């Protein structure tokens, strides 16, 4: 490892608890939360704080096992939006951008033929398959 490279430091349970408490006091004030954590001896940037909360601690996000239906929606949303994860995740309520991206790269990208019944879901029928508003699916063209 080069001297200028920092070693990855994993979040501890204590840090998570403090972050959750501060998030309740000052919602989405990531830089302020970072400064408060620093006062406790926890050195994290505002970006690290935001990413930890949004991708792992937010109770609105699902940690459940991915269903075959979610894999299908993920596939079709990436066909529509490519790797614009903020748009792709809109078809998967309860899944964070990071979890959507990680699922795609770690599993779906390598297992497409065995996961998706592509012949049963023609790409011309994506709108009705997803049961989403036509305007929503094409919001990047607005």
What's the CATH code of the domain at 75? 1.10.10
In-domain check, residue 7: no
**Do 80 and 17 sit in the same domain of this protein?**
no
Q: How many domains does the chain have?
A: 2
In-domain check, residue 4: no
In-domain check, residue 76: yes
Beta carbons within 8 Å of 105's beta carbon, 6+ residues apart: none
In-domain check, residue 43: yes
C-alpha to C-alpha distance for 34 and 41, rounded to whole angstroms: 11
Using one digit for the tens of pLDDT, what is the confidence trace for 25-78? 999 999 999 999 999 899 999 999 999 998 889 888 888 899 999 998 998 999
Using one digit for the tens of pLDDT, what is the confidence trace for 92-106? 999 988 899 999 998
Structural domain boundaries, residue 28: 13-57
In-domain check, residue 1: no
**Do 38 and 84 sit in the same domain of this protein?**
no
C-alpha to C-alpha distance for 131 and 126, rounded to whole angstroms: 8
Q: What is the pTM of this model?
A: 0.61
C-alpha to C-alpha distance for 40 and 22, rounded to whole angstroms: 12
């Amino acid at each position: 490892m080069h001297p200028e490279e920092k070693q990855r430091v994993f979040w501890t349970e204590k840090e998570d608890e403090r972050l959750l408490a501060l998030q309740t006091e000052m919602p989405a004030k990531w830089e302020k939360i970072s400064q408060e954590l620093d006062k406790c001896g926890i050195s994290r940037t505002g970006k690290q704080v935001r990413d930890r909360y949004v991708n792992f601690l937010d109770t609105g996000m699902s940690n459940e096992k991915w269903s075959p239906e979610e894999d299908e929606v993920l596939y079709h949303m990436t066909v529509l939006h490519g790797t614009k994860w903020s748009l792709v995740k809109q078809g998967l309520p309860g899944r964070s951008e990071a979890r959507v991206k990680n699922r795609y790269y770690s599993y779906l990208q390598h297992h497409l033929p065995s996961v998706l019944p592509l012949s049963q879901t023609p790409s011309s029928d994506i709108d009705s398959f997803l049961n989403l508003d036509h305007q929503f699916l094409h919001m990047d063209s607005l």
